[in-house]
Structure 1
Amino acid sequence: MTMTMTMTYRIGIDVGGTNTDAALLNRHGIVVARTKRPTTADIMSGIDDAITALLGEADIDKSAIRRAMLGTTHCTNAIVERKGLNPLAHFRLGAPATLAIPPLSDIPDDLRRLLSDRLFIVGGGYEYNGDPLAHLDEALIRRYLREVKGQVDSISVCGVFAPVSDVQERRVAVLAREELGPEIAVSLSGEIGSIGLLERENACILNAALHGAVRDITEGFDMALRRHDIHAEIYFGQNDGTLMTLRQARAFPIHTVASGPTNSIRGASYLADVRDALVVDVGGTTTDIGILSKGFPRESSHAAEIGGVRTNFRMPDIISIGLGGGSIVTVGAGNSIRIGPESVGYELTRRALIFGGDTITVTDISVAKGLMHLGDSRRIRHLSAELVERAYARYVGMVEDAIDRLKTQDDPIPVILVGGGAGLLPTRLRGASKVIRPVNADVANAAGVALAQVSGSVDTIVSLKHRDRESWLADAALKARAAAITAGAIPGTVEIIDLDTLPLAYMPGNAVRIRAKAVGSLKF
């Protein structure tokens, strides 16, 4: 008897500043429905509209939709716009060694005032080799916890060298739940950032401040799916190009920051069937350019700055420029041309010349050049050929300069164009060995989050004094694989994509930093 396999589907949605993109993919990874909807002030209505559009385009059994993935700028916007951050208390485990520089010393004043004045430095922390720097002052911690009871929604904890040993941080989490209740959200720095106390502490505090914001978006997405009678497993895109579960997203909202560009990079790799390239993602307001290495976004080696706050958790190596389809073209004194950074954004179809508006946009210029066919080209006949050519050369030059800054070698490399504004650019660019514009390029971000894998990682400091480098690496790889499987990866698909060591010459005992990362696929 012949067995037939039921077709299953997954939805990928990516919420950008201008558009909410969505794609429905079947179990073979083929895009069977797609849509772009304007992102509104109430982002959930845009998500709801996108789901409605997908279901209207594809006549499928909704029970066959097994997974739904969301990439969103919601938490990034909360930090940048200083909105929706919840009250918290922070505990640094490092007295007396770290009293000289208080927590949040290096962040903008407006954000410091907004985040918390409940900052406590108590005894604790570790040496680089895991020896206690000071014993944990549990009595003092309990006293402070009782003082903030009823005043905070979350707790953040950062100990000296917590990535080496997180025993004290985890003990504080136990104390917090005993004193404030089992539902209190607790962020531990050893689970978020890497070596470097102040930047890791900043990332941990931001994570704690985002629990309210991430609760809103996770609950809203779940409700939107249920309104459409979709009962799927929910995943969220994170900023290394992989996925995390609903539970993980609620615990680590900081990892959703900058997930949009990584979704596009992963989607570009899949749609173009290329694992090493430079990806140019052209949106309505900005263009994000990143490096695709072995199928994943290249991680930045620099401290990441979010809303003026320096952090050291993983972030993609991305250059963003103020160029998009809605970017305003300004003619200045002496016929000088300026492109952006101002943009008409989601009002493009109302304000651009080709749609009957009164504002010259980059989209108008691309239509005049014959790159795109939108709106009514008769409305831009008055634009002189010289103006069109100069504006075109200006915005293409902006992209080529960004490509040059991001490249690490002189030789040309493949460039993949994606995003709703991919058609604005030509098929030849300086520094590119070839330019690829794949099918469904305009929803690469949605396809990318739908097809993303899950991951597990290890980042720690070890001593080679009594154990060799190879055994430490093997141990780290084993732990990374186990973490990926715990996250939902099919064991047979798990592979190590990053495994290296970094000598730490400033530390005694032949210390090295070890990083390992494993990725694997979800069952479709």
Structure 2
Amino acid sequence: MRLGIDVGRATTTAVLTDTAGEVLGEALADSAPTTTVSLRRVLARLGPPPGPVRAVAVVTDLARRPVVPRRVATLRISPDSHPALGPFVGWPRAARDAVAGPCRVVAGGSSVTGRPLAALDHRAVADFARRAHDEGVSAFAVCAAGAPAVPGPELTAAEIIAENVPDAAVSLSHEIGSPGLRERENATALNAALGDWAEELVQDCRRALRAAGIGAPLLFARDSGGLVSADYFRRHPVIATAPATACAARGAAARTGREQAVVVDAGAGPVRCVTVVDGEPLPHERPYPGALGVRIQLGAPDVVEVAEGAAPDELRAVLARLGERVPGAPVIRTGGRAEDATDDRVPEGRFDAARHAARADCRAEIEHIVSAAGRAELDHLLDAARDHALSLAIAAGAAPATARVRVLTHAPVAYLPAGVHRVTVQATGQPFTDEPS
């Protein structure tokens, strides 16, 4: 059996399914200020499961409770740039004041196609690490130009930092973001800043599950609606700060059997609207405000919020605009206040996010720029990208025997020389469980 739990601002829901995804039990409880108490309440309402629980998937948003981010030392490995393009430029003031620690730009990195720009300045990296340590900062964000294609400079910098700051927690941009340097750097700094939040959330969940006698592998929903293991989430929390609407939308689409829809997620707070195509929420096409309001590009759904208490005409206008993307598709309501957003009563919609989490797969996505002289070399690079995505899916919690490439696309980059392609790969797999083989 698998258990999905959606910890919302007002209510917490739990759904227990069998191995085929059939619902065995559902429960709802008022949320508490802490995740531990919220889980204990809903598990008590659910009651003892009829057999062993093999995996638990939790859905919760960063915004559900206040977060105190870490101060982060940010190292950029690239040629010098104008100060207007430096680290933390463009961040909301509150986020910058809370997160921005020592910053430095050192020589090194490569172009997007992998051409080396300069040798990494090892001494400058070591000096920076010691300076950060002297200022009491142990969380580091390392972002090198061209790192998705050539991660070597970031890996070397991480080794140097570890040698000089033994307790350092280092986030590397090639493990997190897209090819664009600034959004990738923003995401890496946020990832480093959210380490304490992720650690506390994992411990809170495990504490509540142990109290209920559940020792199954723990997973968390990422912003796209897929799952990642607790260990992966602890290392990469920035990918899982706002998964609730994606999970609710995918759950609502599955519940109604609609592959194309506009979904209205009416929970506590703003009403959130998203377009679903082929059962998946449409992602942002451009950088968007992510955690703490910082602009990133990590494939999260394009969600349009309508403020709580807004006039009905405002919601109707948003739905009409989103409906233009999927002409003729229905509007589906989900969330705890679904009945307040429409004349159609859909009380079961409040379980959509938890029901999806109980049935969801683990996912990993990569986006690379590659340069190939011909078709044979391109095929070799595509095979390498497939292998990389599959290894990430397994690292994210997928059982190796179930991992597969779900999506692979590549296209020439018009503004770069011939032979340069943008490659996107998504790999999925069923969560690894403690089910005996």
Superposition TM-score, scaled by structure 1 size = 0.76
The corresponding residue for 1:225 is 209
The corresponding residue for 2:138 is 153
Worse overlay, 154-163 or 271-280:
271-280
Q: What amino acid does structure 1 have at the position aligned with 2:149? A: V
Contact 1:271 1:440 in 2 (8 A): no
Deviation of residue 41 (structure 1)? 2.5
1:13-162 correspondence to structure 2 within 5 Å? 13-55=5-47, 58=48, 60-61=50-51, 64-74=52-62, 76=63, 83-97=67-81, 101-149=85-133, 151-162=136-147
Contact 1:237 1:259 in 2 (8 A): yes
Determine helix, strand or coil for the equivalent of 1:440: helix
Q: What amino acid does structure 2 have at the position aligned with 1:462? A: V
RMSD: 2.5
1:479 to 373, 377, 388: 388
1:185 aligns with 2:94: no
1:411-422 correspondence to structure 2 within 5 Å? 411-422=327-338
Size of the aligned set, in residue pairs, is 430
2: CA distance, partners of 1:109 / 1:426: 38
Worse overlay, 45-54 or 497-506:
497-506
Determine helix, strand or coil for the equivalent of 1:187: strand
Deviation of residue 471 (structure 1)? 5.3
1:407 aligns with 2:395: no
Question: Structure 1: 5+ residue runs without aligned partners?
Answer: 1-8, 324-339, 342-393, 429-435
2: CA distance, partners of 1:32 / 1:238: 24
Deviation of residue 100 (structure 1)? 5.9
Deviation of residue 38 (structure 1)? 2.4
Deviation of residue 53 (structure 1)? 1.4
The corresponding residue for 1:446 is 354
Structure 1 residues 207 and 446: alpha-carbon distance in aligned structure 2, compared to 1, 3 A threshold:
same
Deviation of residue 486 (structure 1)? 4.3
Listed one character per residue, the Cα deviations across residues 12-33 of structure 1 (whole Å, up to 9, x for unaligned) are 1112222222222222322222
Structure 1 residues 274 and 100: alpha-carbon distance in aligned structure 2, compared to 1, 3 A threshold:
closer
2: CA distance, partners of 1:518 / 1:117: 35
Q: Which has the larger radius of gyration?
A: 1
The corresponding residue for 1:273 is 257
Determine helix, strand or coil for the equivalent of 1:22: strand
Q: What amino acid does structure 2 have at the position aligned with 1:444? A: D
Contact 2:232 2:395 in 1 (8 A): no
Q: What amino acid does structure 2 have at the position aligned with 1:443? A: F
Listed one character per residue, the Cα deviations across residues 245-298 of structure 1 (whole Å, up to 9, x for unaligned) are 111100011111221111112212332233332222211322222222333222
1:277-316 correspondence to structure 2 within 5 Å? 277-306=261-290, 307-316=292-301
Contact 1:290 1:406 in 2 (8 A): yes
Determine helix, strand or coil for the equivalent of 2:142: strand
Deviation of residue 137 (structure 1)? 0.9
Task: Choose between structure 1 and 2 for higher RCO, CA contacts under 8 A separated by at least 6 residues.
Answer: 2
Deviation of residue 475 (structure 1)? 4.2
Deviation of residue 167 (structure 1)? 0.9
Question: Structure 2: 5+ residue runs without aligned partners?
Answer: none
Listed one character per residue, the Cα deviations across residues 471-493 of structure 1 (whole Å, up to 9, x for unaligned) are 54454334323433443434565
Structure 1 residues 92 and 77: alpha-carbon distance in aligned structure 2, compared to 1, 3 A threshold:
farther
The corresponding residue for 1:330 is none
1: CA distance, partners of 2:335 / 2:125: 49
Structure 1 residues 398 and 493: alpha-carbon distance in aligned structure 2, compared to 1, 3 A threshold:
farther
1:516 aligns with 2:425: yes
The corresponding residue for 1:501 is 410
